Chain A
Amino acid sequence: MSSPVEQDQLESFSYDDKLIKMFIYATLFWGLVAMSIGVLIAFQLADWRLNFGLEWLTFGRMRPIHTNAAIFAFVGNAIFAGVYHSTQRLCKARLFNDLLGRIHFWGWQIIIVLGALSLAMGKTMGKEYAELEWPLAIAIAVVWVIFAVNFFGTLWRRREKHLYVALWFYIATIVTIAVLHIVNNISIPVSLMKSYPIYAGVQDALVQWWYGHNAVAFFLTTPFLGLMYYYVPKAAKRPIYSYRLSIIHFWSLVFIYIWAGPHHLLYTSLPEWVQTLGMVFSIALWAPSWGGMINGLLTIRGAWNRLRTEPTLKFMALAITFYGMATFEGPLLSIKSVNALAHYTDWIVGHVHSGTIGWNYMLIAGILFYMIPKLWKTELYSYKLAGWQFWLATLGILLYIVSMWVAGVTQGLMWRAMDESGRLMYPDFVETVIRIVPMYYVRGVGGTLVLISFVIMLWNFYKTIKLAPKEQKPEVFKAAPLKASVPSHGESTHRKLEGLPMIFSILTTIAILVGSIVEIVPSLMAQNFVEKDARVGPYTPLELAGRDIYVREGCYLCHSQQVRPMIAEKLRYGDPSTAAESIYNRPFQWGSKRTGPDLARVGGKYPDMWHYRHMWDPREVVAQSIMPSYEWLFRKEIDFGILPKKLKVMKSLGVPYSDEDIATSKESAKAQAKKIADRLKQSGVEGKIKDKEIMALIAYLQRLGTDIKKEKIEVEND
């Protein structure tokens, strides 16, 4: 303990808890939204009619709204509530700046709302968990910097010299998320809500999943480990089991996680050594993750009896247990041979949700059960309801996970099943879909139980807050400033370094880094690639228009575009995808899931008429398809006017379009579209179709995978 301090050296302060209450309300609201959408899309997969034929309600548009709402709106607001609450108390200092806190809050909510609207409209980057277009991506960065200033400012003002381990987790979160977000979101705008990433193909894939997995690491994990280290001891009234372990596993976690990204790209055309690196580090990650689990659970040692009576502990113990499960499953799935079975299947989806529902939602519940009675200075309304919530949520999660295990392994095995003569046992992809649709219903039920549990919690908190005393004066505390409690020998210089100047130098460095990256990278991209394939050419203007429609509709969420080097895949889809084939793909569209078949080599496989009918109503050509209908593609007209701008941006990023290509892009697209329309007319299609979006999409789909089948290099002049 610090040396005794004179009473008059004590400073008075109070905590900004009003801001935390705001974040709590937001957490509860967005959690309801995110989970409701989750239940909707779960049942949309079980029954395609729940897409209702509405453009903005289709699975392809709603799924990113669900993921963004769950991650950034629900989990995000919870992080801010918990971090601001615990940081102030760990620092014995009020939040650095009240106004910044409110700008942070409102800025974040506005981004969420605009984000949801934009995603419903199909304005998407086409990269998972980084879908929001460039104006919103910039807004996120700005709000994040405000958060960083407020957080580090509070650290600077702290009256407790030691930085408790939770604060280390928060520091890692804030620094790393800033870097990840900025680097992965660098794009060149074409218009206000459309841009292309500066990266393409394999490189985009690597940057995307370096980001994507580290979003899991530094948004869904590290802040929650930090919150665990504050709220579990507080709720259990026991100190952390091993403080030393918490320091060790923090530092090892932070170093190892960054490298795990490639485990999303195993058996793809990513260079093998990068895949192996990702696999090895992912397996190594098991140890520090379980360090966290062990520490969290064993902190409750000696207080297990309180699990029966304290909802906080109940939910936190459950959360930590699911964390342990998910962080064992993750490294398991990162082993190449396991991944060969599991990749693109629903097992991955199950794994995601054991983490997001089992760890994140349950821990958020635990924290809220601690914070809300304390902040509103009242008792929880009903322990019984908390018990109901607990069991319903647990049952729901289990139904979710198990149904997805069954679906995933079933699909994985059916895809690779071959008979004695070396032919696929299930050559029609839809056969593997039908078999798992019952599991989609089970998963939907599981998700519904989770949603109901959440509503129960909402009701419980509503009644709790309603019954709280109206008089809520902020408590005033007293503590000595750091200067008074520490003997001075050169300390003041160190304090200055820790202060505002350092914050700003870091921010400046980041700004410079960003600037440099934006400068350097495009020129690098334009030059050499790992393998060049002269047969691979850029998309024609019409095909590019079609590709952007594919991205807009979220086709990549159900269809992959990356054939893996396995025998069964070669039989089903054709030659394995090469890195060279996607060098002009911005964004890359390799996909993470095969709810429908891989499309990397769909070009030329079916006549135009097949695609025409398939997009109008998939069941016309595949009777048991679960894909929604896309009638608006037959109504909406192609935006020819924007094509020159699109090609210009692509050219600036290194795609070999000539000035002539750009100048004639509109005419070239119209001519190519008319050719397709004429062919369709011969098959009996009536009406004015040559300017409709379906022409562009057909052109794009028919191009996929055909480049390497060319005998010689042709100049595309259609």
Chain B
Amino acid sequence: MDILIILIPLAIGLALFFVGLFIWAASKGQYDDLETPAQRILYEENHSGHKKYQGDHRHE
């Protein structure tokens, strides 16, 4: 089962990479606001840069 010498470090390496990615994201403020992003994608840009809300105006 020598392949585990490769696979386990590789899996851990991949995991560490994702941990690093997560820490980077959290420190860059990606998760500071978890309310707005869900709404934001419902806005569509107009040609002049004005946003137009494409969602339901009913809120939770």
Chain A residues with CB under 8 Å of chain B are 1, 7, 10, 89-90, 92, 160, 162-165, 171-172, 175-176, 179, 183, 199, 202-203, 206-207, 210, 230, 233-234, 237-240, 243-244, 247, 251, 254-255, 258-259, 271, 274, 302-303, 475-480, 494, 517, 520-521, 524-525, 527-530, 579
Determine how close the nearest CB of chain A comes to the CB of B17; give it in whole angstroms: 7
Chain B residues, Cβ within 8 Å of A479: 45, 49
- CA A230 to CA B38, docked complex, whole Å: 10
Contact B34 A164 (CB under 8 A): no
Contact A164:B37 (CB < 8 A) given known A207-B7, A247-B31, A524-B2: yes
The reply to whether A303 and B56 form a contact with Cβ atoms under 8 Å apart is: yes
Residue contact B42 to A233, C-beta cutoff 8 Å: yes
Which residue of chain B has the shortest Cβ distance to A303 in the bound complex?
A: B56
Smallest CB-CB separation from B2: which chain A residue? A524
Q: Are B45 and A517 in contact (CB under 8 A)?
A: no
Q: How far is the CA of A240 from the CA of B1 in the complex (A)?
A: 44
Q: Nearest Cβ in chain A — how far from B45, in angstroms?
A: 4
Residue pair A179, B1 in contact (C-beta under 8 Å)? no
Asked whether B56 lies within 8 Å of A179 as measured between CB atoms, the reply is no
Query: In B7-43, which residues have CB < 8 Å from any A CB?
Result: 7, 10-11, 14-15, 17-18, 21-22, 25, 28, 30-31, 33-42
Whether B47 contacts A477 by the Cβ 8 Å rule is yes
Residues of B within 8 A of A254 (CB): 18
Q: Among A7, A172, A203, A238, which residue has its beta carbon within 8 angstroms of that of B2?
A: A203
Of chain B, the residue at the smallest CB distance from A516 is B6
B28 & A258 in contact (Cβ 8 Å cutoff): no
In this complex, the member of B37, B39, B40 whose beta carbon has the largest number of chain A beta carbons within 10 angstroms is B37
| Interfacial chain B residues near A520, Cβ < 8 Å | 6
Q: How far is the CA of A478 from the CA of B50 in the complex (A)?
A: 8
B31–A238 CB distance below 8 A: no
- Chain B residues whose C-beta falls within 8 Å of the C-beta of A89 in the assembled complex: 41
Q: Is the CB of A475 within 8 A of B47?
A: yes
Is the CB–CB distance between B48 and A271 below 8 Å? Answer: no
A231 nearest CB neighbor, chain B only:
B41
* In contact, A525 and B56 (Cβ under 8 angstroms): no
In angstroms, Cα B4 to Cα A382, docked, is 54
Could you tell me the distance in whole angstroms from the C-beta of A372 to the nearest C-beta in chain B?
Answer: 17
Q: Which residues of A contact B49 (CB under 8 A)?
A: 7, 10, 477-480
Determine the main DSSP class of A at the interface with B: helix
Pick from A176, A274, A579: contact of B14, CB under 8 Å? A176
On whether the beta carbons of B37 and A179 are closer than 8 Å, the reply is no
Q: Which residue of A lies closest to B15 (CB)?
A: A255
What are the 3 A-B residue pairs with the smallest beta carbon separation, nearest first? A239-B38, A203-B3, A478-B49
In addition to A238-B56, A480-B49, 5 A-B residue pairs with Cβ atoms within 8 Å of each other are A183-B10, A203-B2, A237-B56, A259-B11, A302-B58
A210 and B11 CA atoms in complex are apart in Å by: 10
CB-based contact B41/A90 at 8 Å:
yes
What residues of B have a CB within 8 angstroms of the CB of A163 in the complex?
25, 30
Residues of B within 8 A of A (CB): 1-7, 10-11, 14-15, 17-18, 21-22, 25, 28, 30-31, 33-42, 45-49, 54-56, 58
Contacts of B10 in A (CB 8 A): 179, 183
Contacts of B25 in A (CB 8 A): 163
B45 contacts which chain A residues (CB < 8 A)?
92, 477-479
* One of B3, B5, B18, B30 near A255 (C-beta < 8 A): B18
Q: How far is the CA of A530 from the CA of B5 in the complex (A)?
A: 13
CA distance A579 to B3 in the complex (A): 13
Q: Are B37 and A162 in contact (CB under 8 A)?
A: yes
**A243/B38 in contact, CB under 8 A:** yes
Q: Are B55 and A162 in contact (CB under 8 A)?
A: no
Q: Please give, as numbers and ranges, the residues of chain B lying within 8 Å of A259 by CB-CB distance.
A: 11
Chain B residues contacting A90 (CB-CB under 8 Å) are: 41
Q: How far is the CA of A524 from the CA of B28 in the complex (A)?
A: 41
How far apart sit A156 and B46, CA to CA, in the bound complex (Å)?
23
**CA A479 to CA B40, docked complex, whole Å:** 14
Q: How far apart sit A475 and B44, CA to CA, in the bound complex (Å)?
A: 12
CB distance from B29 to the nearest CB of A (A): 8
Contact of B6 among A477, A478, A521 (CB under 8 A): A521
Q: Is the CB of A233 within 8 A of B36?
A: no
Q: Tell me the bound Cα distance from A274 to B40 in angstroms.
A: 44
CB distance from B27 to the nearest CB of A (A): 10
A271 to chain B: closest residue by CB: B1
Which residues of A are found within 8 Å of B39, using beta-carbon distances? Answer: 239
CA distance A475 to B46 in the complex (A): 9
Q: Within 8 Å CB of B1, what residues of A?
A: 202-203, 206, 271, 274, 529-530, 579
Output the nearest chain A residue to B17 by Cβ-Cβ distance. A175
The winner among A89, A163, A237 for most chain B CB atoms within 10 A is A237
Whether the pair B30, A162 counts as a contact (CB closer than 8 A) is: yes
Q: Known contacts A175-B17, A494-B28; is A207 also within 8 Å of B38 by CB?
A: no
Task: Please state if A243 and B3 are interface contacts (CB–CB under 8 Å).
Answer: no
Name A525's closest neighbour in chain B (CB-CB).
Answer: B2
Distance in angstroms between the alpha carbons of A162 and B28 in the assembled complex: 9
Across the interface, which residues of B come within 8 angstroms of A202, CB to CB? 1
CB-nearest residue of chain A to B50: A478
**Chain B, residue nearest A86 (CB):** B41
- With a CB–CB cut-off of 8 A, which chain A residues contact B58? 302
In the complex, which of the residues A7, A240, A477, A521 contacts B38, with contact meaning CB atoms closer than 8 Å? Answer: A240
Among A162, A171, A233, A521, residue most surrounded by chain B Cβ atoms (within 10 Å): A162
**B56 proximity list for chain A (CB < 8 A):** 237-238, 302-303
The closest CB in chain A to the CB of B19 belongs to A255
The one of B4, B6, B15, B38 in contact with A258, judged by C-beta atoms closer than 8 angstroms, is B15
- A residues near B2, Cβ cutoff 8 Å: 203, 524-525, 527-529
A to B CB contacts below 8 Å, 11 in the list: A89-B41, A171-B21, A175-B14, A176-B14, A206-B3, A230-B41, A240-B38, A244-B34, A274-B1, A477-B47, A478-B48
Which residue of B7, B28, B42 is within 8 Å of A210 (Cβ)?
B7
A136 CB → nearest B CB, Å: 23
Known: A183-B10, A258-B14, A530-B1. A247 touches B41 (CB 8 A): no
**Cross-chain contact A238 with B14 (CB below 8 angstroms):** no
CA distance A203 to B1 in the complex (A): 6
Rounded to whole Å, the gap between the CB of A11 and the closest CB of chain B is 10
Q: Contact at B41–A233, with CB atoms within 8 Å?
A: yes
CA distance A477 to B37 in the complex (A): 20
Report A623 CB to chain B, min CB distance, Å. 43
- Known contacts A234-B42, A478-B49; A162/B33 CB under 8 A: yes
Q: B7 → chain A, closest Cβ, in Å?
A: 6
Q: Given A165-B37, A233-B41, A477-B45, does the pair A239, B55 have CB atoms closer than 8 Å?
A: yes
B4 to chain A, nearest CB (A): 8
Residues of chain B with a CB closer than 8 A to A238's CB? 42, 55-56
- The smallest beta-carbon distance between B11 and chain A, in angstroms, is 5
Asked whether B34 lies within 8 Å of A247 as measured between CB atoms, the reply is yes
